Every structure is written in C-alpha cells, then in structure tokens.
Structure 1
Amino acid sequence: MNEYTQYDLVGVGIGPFNLGLAALAEEGTSLKTAFFDQTEVFQWHPGMLLEQANLQVPFLADLVTIANPQSRYTFLNYIHKQNRMFPFYFFKRFDIPRQENNEYCRWVANQLANCHFGYEVVNCRYQMQDGVYLLTIKHVRTKEEKTVLARHVVLGTGSVPLIPSPLQEVLNDDVIHSGSYLHYAAEMKEARSITVIGSGQSAAEIFHDLLKQQEAHRYQLTWLTRSAGFFQLESGKLGQEVFSNDYVDYFHRLSFEQRQDALPTLESLRKGVEEETLKAIYELLYYRSVGKERLPVRIQAMTEIDGIVPEEQGYRLECHQWQQNKSFTLRSEKVILATGYKPNLPGWLIEMENELEWEDDKRFAVTRDYRLKWKEERSGHMYTLTNLEHTHGAGATNLALSVQRNQMILNAITGEEVYPLPSQTVFQQFGIEGKEE
C-alpha cells in the first residue's frame, strides 16, 4: 500500500459542489485531499452562459460564504480582487450574472492545489481489510493511469442531459439539447424555423434569446411544452424556507413513500421560470406586435412531442395536445430540447449496485449526512452530492444548501465541528416533534 499516494478524501468531479468542498477542506481542515475532473478547465454549463442571464440564487450562495464569510474564496473577495467592487455596488442586485459566477468559480479553482483537471476517475473499488478505496486515475491527454488510495470518496459527477426516449436517436447538429445551445446558436439563427421544447428557465432563456434576434434573421419561432402552462417560479419568502437545513432534516425523516408524495407539491418552488424572464418575453412580444396582425411566433403548452422525423428540409414533429387528445404535425429546421438533466453516475458505481442498499429499483439509500448506505458496514465512506432529490428533497441542487452539505461532510470526516451548522434558521415549523398525543 505504501507505493500509492494516500488521501483522506478524494473528490470525483469538480463542479460547484465539489469545488466548494475543496475550498472548505483546504482552508479549514488539515485533511489531505485531491479532486479530479476530466475536463481541462473548470466550466459550469458553458452552453448556457447567456448574456444577461443571472443565477436564481443570491450571490451569498457562493462556494463558501454560508460556511465561512471570512474565507478568501468568497464572491465578494473575488469582486474586490477584480477591482469590480464599486461597479457591483452600483449594480444593486442580489443575483449575479451566470457568466460572472463561472469566472468566480474558475478563479477559485485556479488557486486550489487540491483540484486536478484533465484527469478522469475510471475505476474505484473498496478494500475491506484495509478500509480504503483504490481509485484508478487516467490522464485524459496522455492516457497514463495511476492508482491512489482514499479513506473516503465524494461523488460530485453532476448531471447529463435528459432526453425523452422517443427523441434520443435523432440528436445531431440540428436537434440539440439546451445544454449545448451557445455552441450552435449562430448556426441555428440562420435557419428558417426553430422550435424550443420545454417550459423551465433554460427553455425560457433560449426562447427569449431567439426572440430578440428574430427580426434580424426572420425565422419562424415556436415554443412547445407538455406542461399545463408556462408558469412562474414561486419566490415567496416563506415558501423559500424549504431550501434550508431545517426542512432537509424534516424531509429526510419521512418514509420513502411520503418523500415521493411530497416532491410534486414543491413543483412551483423547484421548477418554472423567473418572473423577470417571463416579463421580458411578454413585453418584447407586446412591443413587436404593435401594428401587426400576427407575429411569426407560436407558443403552446399541453403539447407532447411523440417523435421527430427527418425530412428533406428539416424535421417533422409529431405532436399531441393531451388535454384535447388531438394529434398534429409541425415542421421545423432546428429543434432545441430543453428537457432537463438526470444524475451522471459512473459505471464503476453501477457495478457496485449489489453492495448498495436501495430505496427502490432506481434510487439508492443515503444517510442524512450524505453517505451511501452499504449492505456490509465499512469504515471508509462514499458521500454523494448528486442524485439526492429522493432523500434530501427539493433543495438537492440548491447552491446555498450545497455549502451546508459540504460542512456536514467535513465535520463527519474530521470528527470535529470544524464548520458549525446552525439550527432553527427558519420562522416556520415543518413537522410535529415527539410522540402524538
């Protein structure tokens, strides 16, 4: 075992979640850590870094502030170092540009010696007798491999595009997922017709971007969704308290069936479009409609896409208006699928499925402190930062809660309260404590 480098903690993937963990571990603990990502540099959804698109959470939900506002890795310190404090002061907004958040994360990543880009974790197995994980790390360019040891592993492998099964086979340069939008935007705008499918924030931002450029390029623009409407994201302050550790405590104690029933009730808080985006779309449509009988725009909800069929020029979309139970076809040269994402689980983790405890045939069991549950107890733990909605609720992807998640993981690994976790941080009570009378 001495021939391998040994770490207290190895992180697989470097997105915002593991990047925050790397920063907190480096600054607040004596743990020996290493984080690996197969990309060459940090990039956070580069295909959706649209101009004037903002984060949906305040800048305080950066990588570290909620755990340690005195950290040198806070967003405010980044702004200070860039000589942008006064422009930000005059900006007078709590939310920040998505592009700037990406630059901030890259600034942090470039300062952390424990972050290694261009390396892929291609295998991981556990040695029960030694209580360590053996991870095989491959250099993406040279293909050279090495093995490292870790007492604990943290999965931060993020997500991959979710494409409905009828549409998976047709993906190409003309039919793309929204995550790749900016890579194809210029070419798409040269088409005669473009269709956006989906009703979330990404769909709305892409539709707005295309709408702004429509008169210059003169394409027909269509926006379809199978949802019942194009609804606004609920942003009420009391409602937002579900994105708190207090609610996660409550949610995690529910049974699996109760948790599954609870998730749909939180849809308005988790999915939908920011008020500002919907307002910008509607106002642009209104101003542009003055003096015109009809705009070259179609917006329609309650419409499922059963298939996308290639034709000589473009594609035929097989559509179904589910409320009326009526089918129709629509032709479009370009199609953008804003159909969301699903967890990206490494193949080597799937190979361990018989060793893991599962809540159903698709979702593994996770402890309150984010450990995967194994059928046979082990001293070395594997923590997960992804695929947590079924165990930890609507805030599984919330950036602010990710910081508290990292606090909890580091406290568990060190056996100390290196980052104290606050309690009773909300004004409401979610459940009844103690026995029923």
Structure 2
Amino acid sequence: MLKHSDSYSVIAIGAGPANLSLAALSAPIPEISLHILEKSESVSWHPGLLVEGAVMQTSPLKDLVTPADPTSAYSFLAYLHEKRRLYQAVVRGLEHVSRSEFGDYLRWAAEKLGNVQFGEQVVAVELRGKSFNIITSRREYQTHTIVIGVGRVPSIPDWGRDAPPNEVFHASTLLAQRRELSSKRVVVVGGGQSGAETFLHLLSGACGALGSLTWVTRRANIFALEDSPFVNEWFFPQYGGWFFEQGGSTRKQLLEQQSLASDGVNCSTLRAIYNALYDREFHRGSYPTHVQIRVDTTADKLSGVSPFLLGLRQQMTGICSEHVADIVVLATGYRTEIPSFLEPIANRLTVVSAPGGSQEILVEKDYSARFDGPENCHLYVQNGARFQHGIADTNLSLTPWRASTVLNSIVGRTAYDCGPARGVVDWYSSGFEDSHSSASKQPACRDPAHVD
C-alpha cells in the first residue's frame, strides 16, 4: 500500500471502460485529481464490430461502477433513467442490451465526467527528476501516478502481416469503411464471437452478393459461450486473487481450459447463423457457403494483390488443400503488448511473456507495475495482465472492482470495499472439516475411476 498524501494528481492513458471506471469511481474521492488522455476524438468502443444485432455477452450491471458503488450517478441504470428508457429496458430484459447501446452509455459517462482530454495521443512517458513527464501530440504533463488502460491489439498471423489492408484485415476493422464485396471469394478465419458475427454479417448480404463464403476454425466445432453459474464464478474477485497466486504453468493450463467462457459464441448468434444456412439450402443460395472445423490455416506471406492462396490442413486426417480467396477476414483475437510510449522507461519495468504472443508488464496484486524508479512514482496497468490476474482481466466483469483496487492503493486507504464477493465455490480450500468427526480422522479417498 502506498504512503498517504494530501492529494494525488493522476494521469490515466486511454479512455476505454477501464479508465472511465477509474474516473467515475474517483469522482467522490476529494484527494484525487484525475485526467484521462485519449488519442481519439471521442469514446469509441469496438466501432469496427458494431454489426447489427450484436449484443453484450456481459450483464450491463457489470458497468463502470455498479458492483463497486450501486448508488453512483455513472451507472448504466442512471444512463437509462436519464434517457427515459428505464421502464422499457426492464420490460424488454437487460440480457438483450446491444453493444451499440453500451457504447453510447460509455460516451454518456465520459461527457458527464468531463475530465477526458480527447485528441491527445501519448507519444512518450519518461522520468524527469522524481516525477513522470508525459509527452503528448499537444503538450506535456507531469505527475507521480500513471494508470495505463489502452486495451489490447489485434492478433495477426505472421502470414497476414504484410498483406494489403483492404483485402486481408482483422475483424475489428470490419465496419471501419463501407465494403462492397460482390462476387468476391471471402474467407473468415476464427471460430469465436467476432468470427461468428462477421460470418453472419456477410451472409446477410450487407456487403453484397459474394462469390463464395467460407468460415474456417481450428476448433473442434463452433462452440457456444460457456455461461453457466459455476463458470461465471471465474469472473469473481476471489477467483482472480486465487489465480494470481498460481504458478505460470498452472495459469496457462487454466486459461486454455476457460477459453469458451470468454470467446464462445452467443447461442442467439449461433441459431441465427444456422437458420440462415438452412434457408439458403432450402432456397438454393446464389453462391457457395462452407463451414469447416478442425482446420489449420496457413499461407506464404500474403503481399501484393488478390487473389491469395491459403493452405487448409485438416487436423484429424492431415489432408491439406488449397483455397483461393480474394478477401480474408481475420477473427483471430487479440494480444497484449507493451505500449510504445513506454520505451523511455522500458528498462525500469519487468516484462513477462504470456500465451498467444502477448507481452505483459509484471504487476502486483493491486495492479501496480514492478517499477525500478523513484519511490514516489507509481505506474498501474489496467486490463493488461490476463496471464497474471486471470480470465476476467480483459473482460468487463471486474472493471469496477479493479478500478477500486487501484484507487485504494493510490490513496492508501479503503475508499471502496474490495473484499471478495459472496460465491458458492471455495477456491482456497483443499478439503472440508466435519464438525462432528474427530480432528485426527483422515478422510477416505475413493478410487478416482469410481468417482463422478
């Protein structure tokens, strides 16, 4: 915990949900003066993937503030009330909130907060004496406390990195421009939610009548999002604390086992795709459409102009085939990388390698970076430590809890109660005690082969 001071000037870099939560929760704390620097001209939350019908996979009650402060004026319910939509939303059901509406909520919160400096791209963070000096595209700032919340970057396979950006592009930029793909042979790579939404968007004819449409994934099927009550306890604070205490190999194994809890496909999206494919079969669609599973996609480095030649290898049989594509959409996820503006102080930070090619700044339990600098300078990292803090780190679920943890650390007191939420799974216990039995009695362990 940091030593207490009379006041704290905090600069937060990035106006995504993480730092907007930090700003909203810091508003009632008189000793904190916080400003957010954002390179864009407005709050823009996944604009390239706001396809029609895209809904939240997380409850909107896991907004910027509610789990930490249900009385906050910056909650999603306060937003609905101000917009005169609260009664309608309750009747409709909050499980149907679209990503577009949640994005509008984020813009509303930023405007209400009034401490976001838009159009300020951070160029460099350096040490000047015993404070940080932040250089932006417009000016310089001095502070002792920085909170980074710039999000993750698209993960692009090596073979797609030098390709022409209008013909081979990440799904996150799907709607960045109007795309007319009539008669084009299109391949979508990736079997998660963004791959499903991209496939459905193209299947709907939004980009014209294609020449062909192929969806490939290395997964064993197109799997639904794991959204059961016990699975959702992976997104509780106490699980994150338990995960933080595990070793690297255990963390890696756990994240692999939990992939469908964050990157499965909404059942409504799966049904819409299946219905659309069924209707195409019945009406004999005008162009070929294919879904291929257990397929590894490879290629020589794609450069020049289309068409491109992709290699598709069937995992079960090892059979390889070639597929010609004019357009390749990469729904290949995201990775964490160290922001380039930290280069001047990079030698003072510890970096850990994470699965998927990610590079994470080593952080403590309170999300403060392990920083070899002046004692009064502190750097915090939000949504950039999935390999260290668990599956919820890059998800909205624990955003207010994490921001509260950071704020408590900054002010050196409990401004918000960050104790564990009540849950049914005990992550720390290795067994249980029967109060009616002898303390010396050892439990009987059955053969695991006979235990359900």
Matched residue, 1:135: 134
Deviation readout 1:157-184 (Å, 9 max, x if unpaired): 1122110111111142122110110134
Select between 345-354 and 42-51 the one with higher mean Cα deviation: 345-354
Instruction: Give 1:18-417 correspondences, 5 Å limit.
Output: 18-127=19-128, 130=130, 132-139=131-138, 146-184=139-177, 186-188=179-181, 190-213=182-205, 217-290=209-282, 292=284, 296-307=288-299, 309=302, 314-360=307-353, 362-375=359-372, 378-417=375-414
Letter in 2 for 1:392: H
Select between 291-300 and 177-186 the one with higher mean Cα deviation: 291-300
Deviation (angstroms), 1:407: 0.4
Deviation (angstroms), 1:297: 0.8
Whole-angstrom distance in 2 between the partners of 1:158 and 1:347: 13
Whole-angstrom distance in 2 between the partners of 1:404 and 1:178: 30
Asked if structure 2 preserves the Cα contact closer than 8 Å seen for 1:252 and 1:391, the reply is: yes
Whole-angstrom distance in 2 between the partners of 1:205 and 1:254: 35
CA RMSD of aligned residues (A): 2.5
Q: How many residues align?
A: 421
Extract unaligned runs of 5+ from structure 1.
Answer: 1-5, 140-145
Deviation readout 1:29-67 (Å, 9 max, x if unpaired): 431111101111110011111111111101101111111
1:293–1:97 distance in 2 versus 1, CA, 3 Å: closer
SS of the residue 2:176 aligns to: helix
How high is the TM-score relative to the length of structure 1? 0.89
Whole-angstrom distance in 1 between the partners of 2:373 and 2:284: 69
Whole-angstrom distance in 2 between the partners of 1:359 and 1:178: 27
Deviation (angstroms), 1:271: 2.1
Whole-angstrom distance in 2 between the partners of 1:121 and 1:74: 28
What percent identity do the matched residue pairs reach? Answer: 29
Whole-angstrom distance in 1 between the partners of 2:415 and 2:207: 56
SS of the residue 2:244 aligns to: helix
Deviation (angstroms), 1:203: 0.5
1:184–1:391 distance in 2 versus 1, CA, 3 Å: same
SS of the residue 2:408 aligns to: helix
Matched residue, 2:429: 432
Asked if structure 1 preserves the Cα contact closer than 8 Å seen for 2:8 and 2:31, the reply is: no
Deviation (angstroms), 1:98: 0.4
SS of the residue 1:32 aligns to: strand
Matched residue, 2:445: none
Deviation (angstroms), 1:343: 2.0
Whole-angstrom distance in 1 between the partners of 2:325 and 2:262: 30
Select between 280-289 and 60-69 the one with higher mean Cα deviation: 280-289
Letter in 1 for 2:237: N
Asked if structure 2 preserves the Cα contact closer than 8 Å seen for 1:173 and 1:184, the reply is: no
Whole-angstrom distance in 2 between the partners of 1:221 and 1:344: 32
